[in-house]
Structure 1
Amino acid sequence: MRRMKHPGVAKQRRDAIPGFVSIAFGRSSILLRREFSTHAPAIAAKLVQLRDTDEPGLGNRRSGFRLRIAGIPDLFARHSRRGGFFGGLLGDLYFGLRPRQFRELTIASQAAQRGVPIAQPAGAMVERVAPGFYRGFFLSQALDGMSLWEFVRTDDDALVRLHVLEQARAAIETMHRAGLFHADLNLHNLFVTHRGDGFAVMILDLDKARLLDRPLPETTRRANRTRLLRSIHKLDRERRYFSDQAIETLAGG
């Protein structure tokens, strides 16, 4: 396993996200929330271990891991991996001059400021492996709960399920009003968590998202809903969990 060099003093980049600091580790760089920056060596070491592990993680692609670092809240690290045909060829390698993990962190930070219900962004790390090629992780504060798809298959209380679907619909509408286009909205990245005596639904995985300076137009909102409907029909082919009423509550026009 390759060792990470000690970062030395954290320095604020000119183009860094407000509230975050950039720290160099040899060929790697990490953007972290300022209050987590003193824990950068421990966080980076954990991410290197995860990069090299064969252990399956959490989530739809088994690429998510919970990090426990003394002195800070638990973090959730998502190891960026390609899917489909290119996933078999490149695995976790990406090409480009602007790492998608840093782009996602920028969008997530701005979306959180606009009130979009997402997991609090905590940072991102990118390792340059060759000119133009990189791999990386996205970090958020860990949430307790499960995906909406897991929830509807677990909770058989009709009133509770209706409440959660209404919360999911409200989260999506908040996202639309805030100008966030998700691009890959599905039942796996709507996350159900407890809030007080009830439930709240958070929106995950903004790596393909776009953020506009105005509310989304109706055509774009419809594209998000259509993508969500495809996810419902793909995962629940036999309509065991999503009745017509449930679909209308969650994704109806």
Structure 2
Amino acid sequence: MHEQLRQDAEGAILFDASLSPQVDGRWFDPGYWRERSALNTQAGGRGGVAMVATPAGECVLRHYRRGGMVARVMGDRYLWTGADRTRGFAEFRLLQAMAQLQLPVPQVVAAQYRRAGLHYRADLMTRRIPNAQTLAECLAAGRLDAELAQEVGALVGRFHRAGVWHADLNAHNVLVGPSMLHLIDFDRGRLRLPAQGWRMANLLRLRRSLFKLGAAAEGAARFEQTIWTPLMYGYERTLSA
């Protein structure tokens, strides 16, 4: 990766020049890609996610937005505490670090912040992982069985073994591809010292997500037998490897 920084009076862009030597603010505007017939899909929701065909390949463009009650007041604005602590720059560099650890994460392309007084707005662009479904989609399609659950557990175990804490580990942030699994959306994630507490909290968050999506519709006992026990087996075997 060849990291470059481009600054102006209102903000900055951090990008991988080995993927594209010319990244500017237009790259973070879905309208720019729409005008070039390069905007494939755009979803609302908290992340404001768009799929765009760029010179660096097909990418996922995400605009950072707050969730919960704070969103009513702050919307997509965050308190300025320095460039390196902006949401986009922090996630960009965490993705860099995880790639160096050979963890299965999206390839990061670029991040930007735009500052206005005490606040800023931020965006992140990563390479799209082709032919993948979220674990939530696999569950809805009836594809979450013991084998896949064990693979999910092994995936989480790899990240925890490396000291990676995912701030929002849920079934929407696990991607299941034809040959491997990935974790996505590392906003507010970070590297931490090994500890049982945060690891178990991460796993319980994933468990709650699966319950919320109906993984235990056939009963808690069946969920434990066919999903959670295999998942924990894959996790513990990988964590201790």
- TM-score, normalised relative to structure 1: 0.77
**1:103-252 alignment to 2 at 5 Å?**
103-128=90-115, 130-144=116-130, 145-154=132-141, 156=142, 161-195=145-179, 200-212=180-192, 216-236=194-214, 239=217, 243-244=223-224, 245-251=226-232
**1:63-74 alignment to 2 at 5 Å?**
63-70=48-55, 72-74=56-58
Deviates more, 1:168-177 or 1:26-35: 26-35
Shift of 1:240: 5.0
1:89 to 68, 73, 79: 73
Q: Percent identity among equivalent residues? A: 25
Q: Distance in 2 between matches of 1:157 and 1:209?
A: 28
Shift of 1:34: 1.7
Shift of 1:60: 6.1
Contact 2:164 2:190 (C-alpha < 8 Å) held by counterparts = yes
Shift of 1:202: 0.7
Shift of 1:120: 1.4
The answer to whether residue 84 in structure 2 is matched with residue 101 in structure 1 is no
Q: Distance in 1 between matches of 2:163 and 2:102?
A: 11
What residue number does 1:7 align with?
none
| Structure 2: unaligned runs, 5 residues or longer | 35-40, 237-241
Q: Distance in 2 between matches of 1:94 and 1:136?
A: 8
Contact 2:79 2:119 (C-alpha < 8 Å) held by counterparts = yes
Contact 1:182 1:209 (C-alpha < 8 Å) held by counterparts = yes
Deviates more, 1:216-225 or 1:78-87: 216-225
Contact 2:216 2:223 (C-alpha < 8 Å) held by counterparts = no
Closer, same or farther in 2 for the Cα pair 1:96/1:250, shift >3 Å? farther
Q: Distance in 2 between matches of 1:143 and 1:60?
A: 20
Contact 2:49 2:61 (C-alpha < 8 Å) held by counterparts = yes
- TM-score, normalised relative to structure 2: 0.81
Shift of 1:20: 0.9
Read off the aligned partner of 2:196 and give its amino acid letter: E
Shift of 1:148: 0.4
| Structure 1: unaligned runs, 5 residues or longer | 1-17
Shift of 1:39: 2.9
Report the number of matched residues.
Answer: 221
Shift of 1:239: 1.9
Task: Give deviations 1:64-90, integer Å, cap 9, x for gaps.
Answer: 1112123x2111111100000111222
Q: What SS class does the counterpart of residue 36 from structure 1 fall into?
A: coil
Q: Distance in 1 between matches of 2:53 and 2:66?
A: 26
Contact 2:139 2:215 (C-alpha < 8 Å) held by counterparts = no
Greater RCO (CA < 8 Å, at least 6 residues apart): 2
